[in-house]
Structure 1
Amino acid sequence: MKNKNVWQAVKFTLFSASAGLIQLISFALLHDVFKIPDYNACYLPSLILSVLWNFTFNRRYTFRSDGNIKRAMLLVALYYVVFITLSRWWSTELVALGVHDWLIEVINMLVNFVTEFLFQKFVVYRGTIDTNELARKEQA
């Protein structure tokens, strides 16, 4: 069980790192190439792209769930309603304090990484981990 949890955390970390690259690249395009001055106008689209990528791969390969996809997406969407609300609030405060946009982006990504793993493991996929065809083939 311990080995399985470690491997799950490693896979989540790797997929999150790839999602993080998508978020950073899209943030950079909006912020530095297209010169959109508003932090949140760069942050939200980059976060949405990252979430879609991360959800798709973690559902299939990390948590290997065949649970109801609509329910899982709804729970993740609810998580992001809370996370985006809070992160926009503290981001706005940090911008007002003069904290650099890129530092705020990294802080948001780290907070998101930890809280999303816990939420997905213990809420979204609770009871449906290792139930998809990949898990069934491995267990056979």
Structure 2
Amino acid sequence: MKKEKKKEIVRIIKFVFFSISAGIIEIASFSLLTELTPLPYWPCYLTALVLSVLWNFTLNRKFTFQSASNVPIAMMKVALFYAVFTPVTTIGGNYLVENLHWNEYLVTGINMIINLSTEYLYDRFIVFKDCIDTD
């Protein structure tokens, strides 16, 4: 039991570190789009989110969950998560920025924190539930 608990803690730490790297990609691409283009909040956020999701999925599948499962099926499961997460955070974030005049970086940061915690739980208990450590 102790060995499994230690493995899970290591898995969480890996997930957080890979998510931080994805967060750097997200905030860097978001900042570039926000500062260098006339685009409104939502396309900047959406583009940055897609880039970070691709990066995060690839690294976490290989190194955190060490899954040899069918990649297209795992990607489809992740796509289902983002089919809910993306519209909620894109529309909600756009409302906060455009209508309530919240700072776009604050809103993006809040979305990133929500994403980190909810995606770990979803990946661990739904996407990779039956195929952890099979690679």
Provide the rounded CA distance (Å) in 2 between the counterparts of 1:87 and 1:22: 18
Q: How does 1:58-137 map to 2 (within 5 A)?
A: 58-95=60-97, 96-132=99-135
Structure 2 residue runs of 5 or longer lacking an equivalent are none
TM-score computed with the length of structure 1 as normaliser: 0.91
Provide the rounded CA distance (Å) in 2 between the counterparts of 1:90 and 1:26: 20
Q: How does 1:14-25 map to 2 (within 5 A)?
A: 14-25=17-28
47-56 or 89-98, larger mean C-alpha shift: 89-98
Counterpart of 2:13, as a letter, is V
1:33 shift after superposition: 2.1
Provide the rounded CA distance (Å) in 1 between the counterparts of 2:46 and 2:62: 25
TM-score computed with the length of structure 2 as normaliser: 0.94
Provide the rounded CA distance (Å) in 1 between the counterparts of 2:95 and 2:37: 24
Alignment partner, residue 33 of structure 1: 36
C-alpha offsets along residues 15-64 of structure 1, whole Å, 9 cap, x if unaligned?
0000000001100110012242x100100110000000000000000000
- Say whether the 8 Å CA contact 2:42–2:91 is kept in structure 1: no
1:92 shift after superposition: 2.5
Provide the rounded CA distance (Å) in 2 between the counterparts of 1:77 and 1:127: 18
Structure 1 residue runs of 5 or longer lacking an equivalent are 133-140
Provide the rounded CA distance (Å) in 2 between the counterparts of 1:4 and 1:20: 24
- Say whether the 8 Å CA contact 2:67–2:128 is kept in structure 1: yes
Counterpart of 1:54, as a letter, is N
